[in-house]
Amino acid sequence: MATMRLNKFISDCGVTSRRKAEELILQGRLSVNDKIVMELSQKIDTEKDIVLLDGEKLRPKRHVYFLLNKPKGVVTTTDDEKNRKTVIDLIKTKEKIFPVGRLDYDTTGVLILTNDGEFSNMLTHPKNNIPREYEVKLDKPLTDDDKEKLCTGVYIKGKKGKFIKAVFSNKKDKKHVIVTAVEGRNHFVKNMFGALSYTVIALNRKSFAGIVCNIPVGMHRVLTREEISGVIQNYGN
C-alpha cells in the first residue's frame, strides 16, 4: 500500500502547491471514495483510493528528471522573447519540463530539468545549501590572497558572499580555478570574482547537488533512481 497525505497527492497531480491544496480540502472540494474529506491530516492509498476534485478524478502526473550538459548560446528558460534557443529545445519529451535554477547564456555544464516542483524547490531553496562546483577561467592569474578572500567573504551588491572552497586546477596556471558555492544568486560566481577586479572568461558547472556531468556538451540523459534518491536523502526535509 502506497500511502501519502492528501495535500501531497493533490500537488503530485500538478493541480497546485501543497499549501493551496489544503485550502481546497477545507473548502470541501475533495472527496475520497465518494466521501467529502475536510481533514488536512487525511491520508490515502494512492493505488486504491479514488480522489475527486469538484467531481473530477485526479491522477498523479509522471515525474521526469533530466540531466543536461548545457552548451553556450542557449537560454536557461522555458521560452524566450528574442526567439533564442532554450534548454527546453534540447530535450524531446511529452512532459512539460522546466530548468531547476539557471545558468547564464554563455555558461556550460550541469543543469537539471524536471516537472517535479517539490524537487525543484528543494534544490533551489537557500536554506538547503545545495553545493555547486564550477570550473572558472579568469582573465588574469588569481593571487593567493584573493583566493583566500573569496573563501572568507567579499561583498557583492551590498551582501556578503563566499565560496566554500577554491583551489587551483593547476598550480602553474592560476587563471584556472575550481570553486564550490552554496549560493544561487544570479551571476554569483562572476560577481564574486568581479568584486576583486577579475573577469570570468569561461564558466562551467561541474556538479550540482553532487550530480556530475558525465555526458558530452549539448547532450542529456535521464537521472537514475539512485541519483534522485541520493539528492532527496541528502537535502530533503
Give pLDDT tens digits for 86-107. 999 999 999 889 999 999 999 9
**Dihedral, CA of residue 12, residue 14, residue 20 and residue 26, to nearest 10:** -70
Residue 156: partners with Cβ closer than 8 Å, 6 or more residues away:
185, 188, 191, 192, 194, 195
Is 150 in contact with 195 (CB distance < 8 Å)?
no
| Mean pLDDT of the 210-237 span | 92
Best CA proximity match to 42, nearest among 2, 5, 12, 9: 5
Fold of 65-126+212-235: Alpha-Beta Plaits (3.30.70)
Q: How confident is the model at residue 221 (pLDDT cuts 50, 70, 90)?
A: very high
Q: Which one of 34, 49, 54, 104 is the catalytic residue? A: 104
| Mean pLDDT of the 79-84 span | 91
The model's pLDDT over 118-146, given as tens digits with 9 standing for 90+, comes to 899 899 999 999 999 999 999 999 999 99
104 is catalytic: yes
Q: 86 to each of 105, 187, 234, how far by Cα in Å?
A: 9, 18, 30
| Mean pLDDT of the 6-26 span | 88
- The CATH architecture annotation of domain 3-57 reads Roll (3.10)
CATH 3.30.70.580 in the chain, residues? 65-126+212-235
Give me the CATH code for the 131-208 domain, please.
Answer: 3.30.70.1560
CATH 3.30.70.1560 in the chain, residues? 131-208
pLDDT confidence of residue 237: 65
Local structure of residue 16 (DSSP, 8 states): S
Q: How far apart are CA 227 and CA 184, in angstroms?
A: 21
Q: How far apart are CA 213 and CA 109, in angstroms?
A: 7
CATH 3.10.290.10 in the chain, residues? 3-57
